[in-house]
Amino acid sequence: MSALATAIFLVLFVVAAGVGTMIALVRGARHVRERRRARRAARPRRTLLAFAADGGDAERDELVRLPARDWRAVEPTVLELLAKVRGEARTALAEVFIRRGLVSRARRDLRRRGPVRRARAAGVLGSLGHRSAVPELCRLLLDPNPDVRVAAVHSLGRIADPAAAGPLLASLAAPNPAPSQLVAHSLIQLGPAAVPALVAALEEPTPLVRMTALDAVRLLGATVAEPEVAAVLRDDPSLEVRLRAVATLGRIGTRATMPHLLTACEPEQPAQLRAAAARALGELGVVAAVAPLQALLSSPDYRTGHEAAGALLRLGAGGAAALAEAATGTDRAAGHAREVLALADLQREYAESIPQWPAGVAQGA
Amino acid sequence: MTSVLVAEDDADVRDLVVFKLEQSGYEVHAVEDGPEALAAAKQHLPDVAVLDISMPGMSGLDVCRMLRADPATARMLIVMLTARAQETDVDKGFTAGADDYIVKPFSPRELVTRLHALQARARR
């Protein structure tokens, strides 16, 4: 090996060894910090669990008086538990936060320069379900830092004040919004009271706002929004939004929805929309859809025929009979019918192989 | 003394449930995954099992089914304690053989009340 190559090799070796050593040292230091924190948290954690289990005054006072360092060690556990318990246990834990002055401090921290403190404060207020912080958290939806925006979205969902629905949706129209799935999840947590804001958002100019509103309507099962969602399916300029509207109608729709879905299945509609509408007809569960779906089995578009076959399977005996009839043929419709019937047979065999507790048998009998 | 098996991979929830049950007079065995839950159930034959659904190794639903399928553990009272709250999840829990289904966030006090009620019904 030439001298140059040897020198290069040695330099690279030293660099690699140095980087490896630094990684090991950082990891070691983190491990030592974690163990130290766990040791410091051990006793207050026992007090915390006793308090969460029973809400006793002695444990509450001990937690309120904990030195700041010990509280910092156990605070992550408190915040975790706040999300996992309800009733007296949750109220008791929230009271400890209030009596330690942490709620006031969190509200002040929402305006701090450092994004970590702002995000952390938003998280604490969300965990505590502090409604009076909603306006300030809504302002953080437009924070320049993405982690702060995400923390605000999460917290508004946990607080579940329907007044946050409008700001959550509006934030999606801003540059670099929080991920829309997170916003949708928080909107769902606001519950049915958020539906008026969701319906209003169906007319917003930003497609992402309309799509997220539709997702939330679908997941909330807000049947009351059916007329507005049908209008979106009919008139929205964006195919993506119309696809979401179709999926939503499949979930929330009633018998009155069927004509809108059948219109979406017509030949002049985009192929993706026709396939989605066929699928939604199956989810709708209206037996009157059997005949139109049977006709769609012969669609020249594979996806539409495939979804129509799947939809027929969901329509009970009428759908199954239509599939069985189609399966006797030799055309495209027969292929789709046979495919879905064979898959259903395999799924049934698998389901029968799993031991089931017999329904209606009394325990201990 | 009534014995309870608690199977929960979340350490904070597990320790809280154990604390509450012991405070309420139960003898508690705690594990953190599905295979351990099955082994502990067969070893200790507890009166009640409190099972999380999402656990490493084996889900609480599978543990429940296997306990019901084994004559030695078929009569054990089983309570699912889980964050899975959809109707289909609840349906799966009872179909698997659970006697009760509690959704997180949960109330520790309510958990104990439900265990008392289940035992009272089982004794009748």
pLDDT confidence of residue A50: 86
Q: How many domains does chain B contain in total?
A: 1
pLDDT confidence of residue A354: 66
pLDDT confidence of residue A360: 40
Query: In terms of Cα–Cα distance, which of A192, A190, A145 is closest to A167?
Result: A190
pLDDT tens digits, one per residue of B36-69: 999 999 999 999 999 999 999 999 999 999 999 9
The tokens for A25 are 């040292």
Span B60-87, mean pLDDT? Answer: 93
Quick one: DSSP state of residue A85? Answer: B
CA nearest to B86 within chain A = A219
Please give the helix or strand (H or E) that residue A173 lies within, else none.
Answer: none
> Per the CB < 8 Å rule, is A84 touching B23?
no
Name which of A59, A78, A85 to mutate to probe chain B: the one with the most chain B Cβ atoms within 10 A of its Cβ.
A85
Query: In terms of Cα–Cα distance, which of A315, A362, A310 is closest to A337?
Result: A310
The tokens for A192 are 């049915």
Within 8 A by CB and 6+ apart from B5, the residues are B28, B29, B30, B31, B37, B40, B41, B44, B46, B48, B49, B50
pLDDT confidence of residue A359: 45
- Nearest Cα of chain A lies from the Cα of B111 at a distance, in angstroms, of 11
Question: Is A3 exposed, middle or buried (CB count within 10 Å of its CB: 0-12, 13-18, 19+)?
Answer: exposed
pLDDT tens digits, one per residue of A236-291: 999 999 999 999 999 999 989 999 999 999 999 999 999 999 999 999 988 999 99
Minimal Cβ distance to B105: which of A53, A77, A85: A85
Range of the domain at B99: 3-123
- Minimum mean pLDDT among A43-52, A245-254, A354-363, B16-25: which range? A354-363
Specify whether the backbone of A152 is left (phi greater than 0), alpha (psi in -120 to 50) or beta: alpha
Minimal Cβ distance to B97: which of A53, A90, A357: A357
**pLDDT class of A61 with cuts at 50, 70, 90:** confident
pLDDT confidence of residue A361: 39
CA distance B62 to B56: 12
CA nearest to B63 within chain A = A355
pTM of the predicted model as reported, rounded to 2 decimal places: 0.77
Helix axes A226-235, A207-220, angle to 10 degrees: 140
Residue A298 in contact with partner chain B when CB distance is under 8 A: no
> Per the CB < 8 Å rule, is A356 touching B96?
yes
Residue-wise DSSP of B58-88: S-HHHHHHHHHHSTTTTT-EEEEEES--SHH
Q: Domain with B11 in it: what CATH number?
A: 3.40.50.2300
